[in-house]
Amino acid sequence: MALVVFSLVVSLTYAAIGPAGEGFRRLQEVRQNYEQNLATGWQLNQDIAYMLQPLDESQGAFDVVNDERGAFSYDELWLIAATPARPGLSEIHYYIDEETHVLIRESGFLDAREDSSMVQSELGRADSLQIEMLDKAGRWHQRWDMPAGQGWPRAFRIRLQAGQQQREWLIPVLQGHL
Contacts of 148 (CB under 8 A, 6+ apart): 178
Each residue's pLDDT tens digit, 14-45: 666 766 667 767 777 766 776 777 788 888 88
C-alpha 175/C-alpha 153 separation (Å) is: 9
**Mean pLDDT, the chain, as a whole number?**
80
CA angle 89, 53, 56 (to 5 degrees): 85
pLDDT at 150 over 60: no
Q: In this model, does residue 146 exceed pLDDT 90?
A: no
Cα torsion 63, 58, 173, 50 to 10°: value is 100
Give phi and psi for 151, each to the nearest 5. 75, -155
The one-letter amino acid code at 137 reads A
Predicted TM-score of the model (pTM): 0.76
In degrees, rounded to 5, the angle at the alpha carbon of residue 94 between the alpha carbons of residues 59 and 161 is: 140
Residue pLDDT, tens place only, 37-81: 778 888 888 888 888 776 666 667 888 888 888 778 889 999 888
pLDDT score recorded for residue 176: 41
pLDDT, position 84: 80
In this predicted structure, what is the pLDDT of residue 19? 67
pLDDT band at 177 (very low <50, low <70, confident <90, very high): very low
